[in-house]
């Protein structure tokens, strides 16, 4: 029995432009713009070709199919992630920067949340971030498989905090009445006084600030845990 073929657009040489002024980079930029405006459901080779003033069939000179195009645009998201050199700023600050940068890049391009775990991150920008992350974790003192485990823990935290936030933003955003929502939750939590105490917090009027504070709290706690593990 033959397993499913694993391949990537990044393991073959890009084809030379088929027409003057056309390039894979131009196609990727246009695709990112379309995705930011319309999301994954709004992207098609036909619509992208129309946006570029070219036929959909001409785009297949550069990418074999839509998933290859998505690999290319996915790597553009990784290009926006901050990954400072741990030798310059220290491992904790560099890990914190990459975690915040990863969250912000995904939030700027919410469609990318649906590609995490679905497509391989093998592009040059993703590989650069991955390489920097390994250097950060090694600079902390981790060795062997624990380097991979620490990186997996960090990325799982970032994705686990960010993807539900995107789902909420997509479904609700700022299109809800905060007072009405508070009233509904208050009725639902009527038998739980500790929860009611938190519902009445004034800071809930600024949910973005709360989410940022919550993310930072969890990240600092995670780094504290990694540091303590090294100490023991």
117-127 tens-digit pLDDT: 888 899 999 99
Q: Which tokens is 137 given?
A: 């974790």
Indicate if the pLDDT at residue 20 is higher than 70. no
Q: Enumerate the domain spans of the chain.
A: 9-77, 80-231
80-231 CATH, one of 3.40.50.300, 3.40.109.10, 2.60.120.10, 1.10.357.10: 1.10.357.10
Share of the chain above pLDDT 90, in %: 53
| Mean pLDDT of all residues belonging to the chain | 87
Number of H-type helices and E-type strands within the chain: 11, 0
Judge contact between 181 and 173, C-beta under 8 A: no
Task: Read off the pLDDT of residues 60-89 as tens digits, 9 standing for 90 and up.
Answer: 878 888 889 999 999 999 999 988 888 888
Task: Read off the pLDDT of residues 167-196 as tens digits, 9 standing for 90 and up.
Answer: 988 887 667 777 787 788 888 888 888 877
Are 9-77 and 80-231 the same fold in CATH? no
Q: What is the pLDDT of residue 56?
A: 67
Indicate if the pLDDT at residue 202 is higher than 60. no
Indicate if the pLDDT at residue 2 is higher than 70. no
Indicate if the pLDDT at residue 21 is higher than 70. no
What would the CATH number be for the domain defined by 9-77?
A: 1.10.10.60
């Amino acid at each position: 029995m033959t397993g499913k073929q694993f391949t990537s657009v990044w393991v073959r040489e890009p084809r030379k432009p088929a027409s003057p002024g056309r390039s894979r980079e131009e196609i990727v930029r246009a695709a990112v713009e379309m995705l930011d405006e319309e999301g994954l459901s709004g992207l098609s080779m036909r619509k992208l070709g129309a946006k570029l003033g070219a036929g959909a069939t001409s785009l297949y000179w550069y990418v074999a199919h839509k998933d290859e195009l998505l690999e290319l645009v996915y790597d553009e998201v990784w290009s926006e992630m901050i990954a400072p050199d741990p030798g310059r700023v220290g491992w904790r600050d560099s890990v914190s920067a990459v975690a915040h940068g990863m969250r912000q890049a995904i939030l700027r391009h919410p469609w990318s949340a649906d590609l995490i775990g679905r497509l391989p991150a093998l592009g040059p920008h993703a590989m650069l971030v991955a390489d920097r992350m390994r250097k950060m974790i090694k600079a902390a003192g981790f060795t062997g498989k624990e380097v991979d485990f620490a990186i997996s823990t960090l990325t799982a935290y970032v994705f686990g905090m960010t993807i539900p936030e995107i789902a909420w933003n997509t479904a609700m955003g700022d299109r809800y009445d905060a007072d009405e929502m508070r009233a509904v939750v208050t009725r639902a939590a009527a038998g739980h006084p500790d929860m009611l105490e938190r519902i009445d917090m004034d800071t809930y009027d600024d949910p973005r600030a709360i989410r940022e504070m919550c993310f930072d709290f969890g990240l600092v706690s995670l780094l504290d845990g990694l540091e303590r593990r090294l100490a023991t």
